[in-house]
Amino acid sequence: MSTIGYEAWLRYPQLTDVLRIEAVSRWSGCMIVTEASEVIATAAAELKRGLERMLGVTLAARSSCDSGSGCIAIGTFSGGNESIARVFGDSGAQLDTGAEGFAIRTDAESGIIAIGAEQPAGVLYGVFHLLRLIATGASIDELDIVERPVNTIRMINQWDNIDGSVERGYAGQSIFYENNTIKSDLTRVEDYARLLASSGLNAIAINNVNVHHHETYFITERFLPDIARIAGIFRRYAIKLFLSVNYASPIETGELTTADPLDADVKAWWKAKADELYKVIPDFGGFLVKADSENRPGPFTYGRDHADGSNMLAEALLPHGGLVIWRCFVYNCKQDWRDRKTDRARAAYDHFKPLDGRFMDNVILQIKNGPMDFQVREPVSPLFGALPATNCMMEFQIAQEYTGQARHLCYLVPQWKEVLDFDTYAKGEGSYVKQVVDGSMFGYKHSGFAAVSNIGDNANWTGHPLTQANLYGYGRLAWNPELSAAAIAEEWTRLTFGSDEHVVSTVVSLLMGSWSIYESYTAPLGVGWMVSPNHHYGPDVDGYEYSKWGTYHFSDCKGMGVDRTLATGTGYAGQYREPNASIYGTLESCPDELLLFFHHVPYTHVLHSGKTVIQHIYDTHFEGVEQAEQMLRSWNELEGRIDTETFKLAGDRFAEQAEHAKEWRDRINTYYLRKSGISDALDRTIY
Amino acid sequence: MSTIGYEAWLRYPQLTDVLRIEAVSRWSGCMIVTEASEVIATAAAELKRGLERMLGVTLAARSSCDSGSGCIAIGTFSGGNESIARVFGDSGAQLDTGAEGFAIRTDAESGIIAIGAEQPAGVLYGVFHLLRLIATGASIDELDIVERPVNTIRMINQWDNIDGSVERGYAGQSIFYENNTIKSDLTRVEDYARLLASSGLNAIAINNVNVHHHETYFITERFLPDIARIAGIFRRYAIKLFLSVNYASPIETGELTTADPLDADVKAWWKAKADELYKVIPDFGGFLVKADSENRPGPFTYGRDHADGSNMLAEALLPHGGLVIWRCFVYNCKQDWRDRKTDRARAAYDHFKPLDGRFMDNVILQIKNGPMDFQVREPVSPLFGALPATNCMMEFQIAQEYTGQARHLCYLVPQWKEVLDFDTYAKGEGSYVKQVVDGSMFGYKHSGFAAVSNIGDNANWTGHPLTQANLYGYGRLAWNPELSAAAIAEEWTRLTFGSDEHVVSTVVSLLMGSWSIYESYTAPLGVGWMVSPNHHYGPDVDGYEYSKWGTYHFSDCKGMGVDRTLATGTGYAGQYREPNASIYGTLESCPDELLLFFHHVPYTHVLHSGKTVIQHIYDTHFEGVEQAEQMLRSWNELEGRIDTETFKLAGDRFAEQAEHAKEWRDRINTYYLRKSGISDALDRTIY
């Protein structure tokens, strides 16, 4: 197995520019590290590995600096490292770096670059930051940086199953499990921890939110010793371990006959379970719960609501400082397609809004970015901003379930940015989603980001080499939502492919264009779905149209789209605060890209773009294919500038994407030509 | 496990009418049997079991008759049974009963009912025939019957896999296999042999035509001892065993690097294989082969045609008297839906017609009844009558893959009758398909019927209690295609449920109406499909519309159907002889029920019925649901007249059918209302 894709953005290729080598080497005489903390040891090892690779030298670790040779000191402000104290003096504590932030300062006088932090985790993040600066070509001669993460919870969700499969995984099998056991060799888990920590993440739920039979026993002695082994690996990278739990665990394990959250035995069961867990994993993060959703058990079985359900677990975890992360993805998945009044989009808000204020302080509601399910385009969930008295966090999906499954390139950071920058008007204009999820808007006690991972045991982790950028970008954005999608793309590209400017500009351009291109040849104007049932790959316009999943487009011979207005539709638009409710609810003001999510319109309806809906469909689908073909050509121009393995691997996927985009184009165009009877104005081939 | 469903049409319930008991008992003083043949022993055991059950007496077997007491003598004309000789005298051999026919004669003078035949198989069929007469209430006082099967091959095809699954099986797992082995307890196989023999069948291929990895080894020493065990069971019931073989066996077993039929090593390999097989199973029937079809290997790989491919196997089997049954289900299953010229319906004819005359005498082409794949309605395959110089046989599917999967009642005998009664005009008017497949039209050396079984390890064999009638009916029709569907239905009903006339008339009426009802709420006017991909159950109008399988309806906002005319379409209609070619190819003369198979027409096209196509769709779908609901009501009226187990089991299925019919109705009506924009003239609810 080649290591090129495996090392991802931590390749740290040897610097080749002589002046650059000299500039960095000046500060790399030694590494000064004095603290015994496990995480600082990790930081030191990372710094050593990174610098040695880039410079081709050996970096000695010392406890103090020989005057004259430039050194890098790492440590906590109060940890007794004299070099740290010398550079930051008393100011360290005043820098307000918080539990995870760091300061980096180049002190010309002492010849030291110091990475200081209040806690070891900050030191680790500071080391990764410095390495990133060096690898991307920044000057380190005059550093004076203070960084702290904007979000306190920066989490990844693994949808891995104990049988080794990964639900919605498109990059191989699980790196955690195989054959109904936890792998004995966890080397790869450690390497994953490095990737996560280096992008700024600090929490992981290691099993699928759909907790099946065997995984129900993760919280029992059958699996706990191995889970603790995994927790130990992540702990070294300052990452807290969470578990997804089965709400019916007391029943499924055969110990009780109910899982009613108000039942005394059930409460006692979970309390005992929490005690047992924390004995084995003292810094255990808590539970991630999918309840009463898509056939999973939950409090509804007992006539209780989700506040009852989650608070019971939260009480059990409270003495240990644990959290309950409770997913809001609750809807009727057995809808009758004939019933046009029930609207899946309404479900999360309808379920959770009335419960605001009833959740304990250590419960967090995890809300998917949109009201449906990670489509290429949906509006932002109206729950963001609607729960002032309830901790909330964001859920994204890095795994491209509906966005090309790592066969198509779809760089998702621009989409996530749009979500985060959405104005909820919760406290007047300028009440952005990012301020809801970072906790600042309502003073949440806990909040942040979660996202479904896109990695598996493929050699390069993510299948498509370029979709590593989504994992990296997610971490960076969770750390700081103000970073631009382009800046993250460029950073990732330089770390991954080095400094060839032609490569950088091409790859950044491919990444930045990809979401829009993918959208253009798939479901139009925010209507979503149109994918093959179950596996969700490839076009099937009516794939879900007559099914129970509540995901319809209602296309007939005259028009299409879902009327979600208050006036004549399902009323979903009314779940937003004004002016959003009116903007979405009014045909004239609804943005084109969400038109069919909110309105049922004739094919001849004229968009703000000046095109009719039907012509927009034809045009975007023809253009999307041309753009997908252009992506392939652009990539192919990089031949010789990128390692042959990655070049070939990504090239094959771009070729597949270009071909598959044609299938999308032809099926959607044909479907709508047949249905509408309206010809393409440009008379292109539609079958 | 209750035995009621398990015994099927061999229940032989005790007679209750005193006069009837007396009438039968008069002839049941003893059974006279003198021959040692295994099949005659079977016949004797069946006669004993059947009579003892119906009369509640013990039937003694003797070698001669005590004068005065009425007896039943069974035996071959030349077998030395004096009672047989006494009744038939010299005339036995002149009755022309053939290898499998029989004569039954009541000889009042001697007090003997004699069942005589040339061969033991005929004796067995004669016994089943007599039992059937008694069980259905016929008088046996003056019998003088001569019967011989119209078709020489009357075969059943099991699509059973060694892992225990049954491809397109809707009645449980395999009765032959489990866990990649042949079952050690084959009791159920023997009971299946009884069912088959009693309905007149004489051949079975015991494994799926899609021969997977393990099944490839059926023709090796790994499985042959167990296969021989199965052959032994069927031999006792005069049923020959065939095996489906993998065309690439020489490669897959690792012994050769090619399966080229013209390669000397390949020929030698199969010759040796045949020798080995016949050593273990001296009366082995031969091979059933699916080649170059749906990703199965075949001669095309080597640039050979199907004559080359099958003749090579036939040569290997020839010295042993074995047959090669070669399936004509060959088509391109990777079609591009954009390509409207390629027509799957044409494929079998296009492949095989040019090869007529090139096949060896022990090769038989097995042709599906229609050009597509066992749809509820398709035209008859134009290959029937087009191969005067090639042995042909019919392939039906008893398993209701596309006709309700044993959840819906669909009695298929009326459909099969239509196929058999179709006039091919191969030798002028009156050249019916039944005369092609019985071999009489062209003097085929071998010919007959095959059908895919519908049984599994469900308690009652077929899942839906009433679909036993399809298995029984198939056997009876293979024996004599002149039997009417209604007569078979009544015979089966009386054997299964006894003589309650209300039960008989209700069940016969349910059976006889069921095909038409199923057709009415599913795909309209011969267009076919509209089922969910892969499992083929339930409605999905566009399920195959944009796929590679070549099964389209081309519905747009103006009309639907496939233009298969010579003038403007794929030319399929031209594969028929005149006048069929013109009848089908001309819009005005094409029968309504096949209109959309042959023509693409506007929704407003007026059928011979006087209705427009769109109104026909609406009407039949509303009516079909009403009829399905009526079936449930009719069945429920039988409460108390039928054993409670069967009553409940079938009742549940009728209820499910009525409910599922609504889903069909609503999806198809909604699809076409949305697509056509034309309202229902009766303004019924369409969603």
User: Residue B413 corresponds to which amino acid?
Assistant: V
Q: Is residue A335 within 8 angstroms of chain B, CB to CB?
A: no
Q: Where are the alpha helices (DSSP H) in B152-203?
A: 187-199
Q: Is residue B667 within 8 angstroms of chain A, CB to CB?
A: yes
Considering only the beta carbons, identify the residue of B542, B557, B687 that sits closest to A557.
B557
% of chain A with per-residue pLDDT over 70: 99
Distances (CA, A) of A223 to A226, A260, B645: 6, 25, 46
What would the pLDDT profile of A301-347 be if each residue is shown by its tens digit? 999 999 999 999 999 999 999 999 999 999 999 999 999 999 999 99
Instruction: Find the Cα–Cα–Cα–Cα dihedral A81, A87, A93, A98, rounded to 10°.
Output: -80
Chain B positions in Cβ-Cβ contact with residue A673 (cut-off 8 Å): 556
Chain B positions in Cβ-Cβ contact with residue A687 (cut-off 8 Å): 337-338, 340
Closest approach of A344 to chain B, Cα-based (Å):
18
Whether the predicted pLDDT of B1 surpasses 60: no
Please confirm, yes or no, whether A373 is among the known catalytic residues.
Answer: yes
% of chain B with per-residue pLDDT over 90: 96
Structure tokens at B278: 């016949």
Size of interface A-B (CB pairs under 8 A): 53
> Where does residue A104 fall: left (phi above 0), alpha (psi -120 to 50 degrees), or beta otherwise?
beta
Answer whether A675 sits within 8 Å of B539, measured CB to CB: no
Give burial (CB, 10 Å; 0-12/13-18/19+) of A190. middle
Determine the pLDDT at residue A1.
Answer: 47
Considering only the beta carbons, identify the residue of A539, A556, A666 that sits closest to B338.
A666
Closest approach of B19 to chain A, Cα-based (Å):
58
Catalytic entry in A315, A378, A401, A563: A401
Query: Taking a C-beta distance cutoff of 8 angstroms, is the pair A65, A83 a contact?
Result: yes
Query: Over the Cα atoms of chain B, what is R_g?
Result: 26
Catalytic entry in B401, B438, B491, B593: B401
Structure tokens at B631: 């079936």
Chain A positions in Cβ-Cβ contact with residue B675 (cut-off 8 Å): 556-557, 674-675
- Hey, CA dihedral for A182, A187, A191, A194, is it positive or negative? positive
Q: Is residue A557 within 8 angstroms of chain B, CB to CB?
A: yes
Whether the predicted pLDDT of A69 surpasses 80: no
Chain A positions in Cβ-Cβ contact with residue B674 (cut-off 8 Å): 554-557, 675
Whether the predicted pLDDT of B562 surpasses 50: yes
Structure tokens at A439: 């906790």
Query: Taking a C-beta distance cutoff of 8 angstroms, is the pair A505, A637 a contact?
Result: no
Closest by Cα among B292, B199, B207 to B248: B292
Q: A5-14, A89-98, A635-644, B345-354 — which is least confidently predicted?
A: A89-98
Q: Is residue A667 within 8 angstroms of chain B, CB to CB?
A: yes
What would the pLDDT profile of B426-442 be if each residue is shown by its tens digit? 999 999 999 999 999 99
Determine the pLDDT at residue A68.
Answer: 62
Chain B positions in Cβ-Cβ contact with residue A337 (cut-off 8 Å): 687
Whether the predicted pLDDT of B3 surpasses 90: no
Whether the predicted pLDDT of A602 surpasses 80: yes
Q: Where are the alpha helices (DSSP H) in B285-408?
A: 306-317, 347-352
Query: Taking a C-beta distance cutoff of 8 angstroms, is the pair B101, B148 a contact?
Result: yes
Q: Is residue B659 within 8 angstroms of chain A, CB to CB?
A: no
Residue A146 bridge partners (DSSP)? A103
Residue B64: band (very low, low, confident or very high) from pLDDT cuts 50, 70, 90: confident
Please confirm, yes or no, whether B141 is among the known catalytic residues.
Answer: no
β pairing state of A181-182 and A203-205: unpaired
Pick the residue from chain A with its C-alpha nearest to B336.
Answer: A663
d(CA B388, CA B382): 13
Chain B positions in Cβ-Cβ contact with residue A675 (cut-off 8 Å): 556-557, 674-675
Structure tokens at B57: 């007496």
Residue B73 bridge partners (DSSP)? B32, B114
For chain B, domains (ranges, CATH) are 18-147 (3.30.379.10), 153-483 (3.20.20.80), 484-562+600-686 (3.90.1330.10)
Q: Is residue B684 within 8 angstroms of chain A, CB to CB?
A: no
The complex's ipTM works out to: 0.90
- The whole-chain average pLDDT of chain A stands at 96
Chain A positions in Cβ-Cβ contact with residue B670 (cut-off 8 Å): 338, 546
Chain B positions in Cβ-Cβ contact with residue A676 (cut-off 8 Å): 557
Answer whether B556 sits within 8 Å of A673, measured CB to CB: yes
What would the pLDDT profile of A152-192 be if each residue is shown by its tens digit? 999 999 999 999 999 999 999 999 999 999 999 999 999 99
- Residue listed under structure tokens 């066969």: A407
Answer whether B557 sits within 8 Å of A555, measured CB to CB: no
- The whole-chain average pLDDT of chain B stands at 96
Q: Is residue B662 within 8 angstroms of chain A, CB to CB?
A: no
Backbone phi and psi for residue B180, each to the nearest 5 degrees, phi listed first:
65, 25
Considering only the beta carbons, identify the residue of B540, B541, B556 that sits closest to A674.
B556
Catalytic entry in A373, A395, A490, A680: A373
Closest approach of A219 to chain B, Cα-based (Å):
34
d(CA A138, CA A611): 46
Please confirm, yes or no, whether B35 is among the known catalytic residues.
Answer: no
Considering only the beta carbons, identify the residue of B556, B558, B667 that sits closest to A546.
B667
Residue B69: band (very low, low, confident or very high) from pLDDT cuts 50, 70, 90: confident
Query: Taking a C-beta distance cutoff of 8 angstroms, is the pair B77, B88 a contact?
Result: yes
Query: Taking a C-beta distance cutoff of 8 angstroms, is the pair A186, A233 a contact?
Result: yes
Closest approach of B562 to chain A, Cα-based (Å):
14
Considering only the beta carbons, identify the residue of A542, A556, A687 that sits closest to B542.
A542
Helix (H, G, I), strand (E, B) or coil at B673: helix
Answer whether B670 sits within 8 Å of A546, measured CB to CB: yes
Q: Where are the alpha helices (DSSP H) in B117-223?
A: 120-135, 187-199
d(CA A376, CA A410): 9
Pick the residue from chain A with its C-alpha nearest to B678.
Answer: A557
Query: Taking a C-beta distance cutoff of 8 angstroms, is the pair A85, A74 a contact?
Result: no
Distances (CA, A) of B111 to A546, B40, B79, B102: 69, 21, 20, 19
d(CA B661, CA B667): 10
Q: Is residue B625 within 8 angstroms of chain A, CB to CB?
A: no
Chain A positions in Cβ-Cβ contact with residue B672 (cut-off 8 Å): none
Q: Is residue B427 within 8 angstroms of chain A, CB to CB?
A: no
Structure tokens at B66: 């005590």
Distances (CA, A) of B449 to A685, B233, B348: 47, 22, 18
Considering only the beta carbons, identify the residue of A337, A540, A674 that sits closest to B557.
A674
What would the pLDDT profile of A215-235 be if each residue is shown by its tens digit? 999 999 999 999 999 999 999
Catalytic entry in B255, B294, B482, B639: B294
Structure tokens at A267: 């409460």
Helix (H, G, I), strand (E, B) or coil at A642: strand
d(CA A35, CA B82): 110
Whether the predicted pLDDT of B263 surpasses 70: yes
Q: Is residue B537 within 8 angstroms of chain A, CB to CB?
A: no
Considering only the beta carbons, identify the residue of A541, A557, A670 that sits closest to B677.
A557
For residue A514, what is the enclosing H or E element? Answer: helix A501-521
| Cut 0.90: pTM above it | yes
Backbone phi and psi for residue A74, each to the nearest 5 degrees, phi listed first:
-130, 140
Backbone phi and psi for residue B463, each to the nearest 5 degrees, phi listed first:
80, -80
Residues in chain A: 687
Closest approach of A596 to chain B, Cα-based (Å):
17
DSSP structural state of residue B679 = P
Query: Taking a C-beta distance cutoff of 8 angstroms, is the pair A34, A63 a contact?
Result: yes
Whether the predicted pLDDT of B557 surpasses 50: yes
Whether the predicted pLDDT of A66 surpasses 90: no
- Hey, CA dihedral for B9, B13, B19, B25, is it positive or negative? positive
Query: Taking a C-beta distance cutoff of 8 angstroms, is the pair A194, A489 a contact?
Result: no
Catalytic entry in B147, B305, B373, B491: B373
d(CA A175, CA A446): 29
β pairing state of B240-244 and B286-289: parallel
d(CA A350, CA A368): 15
Structure tokens at A673: 């030509």
Helix H, strand E, coil C: the string for A67-96 is CCCCEEEEEECCCCCHHHHHHHCCHHHHCC
Whether the predicted pLDDT of A14 surpasses 80: yes
Go through B494-520 and write b for each residue having 16 or more CB atoms within 10 A of its CB, e for each that does not.
bbbbbbeeebbebbbebbbbbbbbbbb
Answer whether B338 sits within 8 Å of A687, measured CB to CB: yes
Strand intervals (E) in A300-419: 323-327, 363-368, 392-397
What would the pLDDT profile of A642-687 be if each residue is shown by its tens digit? 999 999 999 999 999 999 999 999 999 999 999 999 999 999 999 9
What would the pLDDT profile of B493-517 be if each residue is shown by its tens digit? 999 999 899 999 999 999 999 999 9
Whether the predicted pLDDT of B552 surpasses 90: yes
Strand intervals (E) in A556-654: 559-560, 601-602
Closest by Cα among A127, A136, A91, A331 to A238: A127
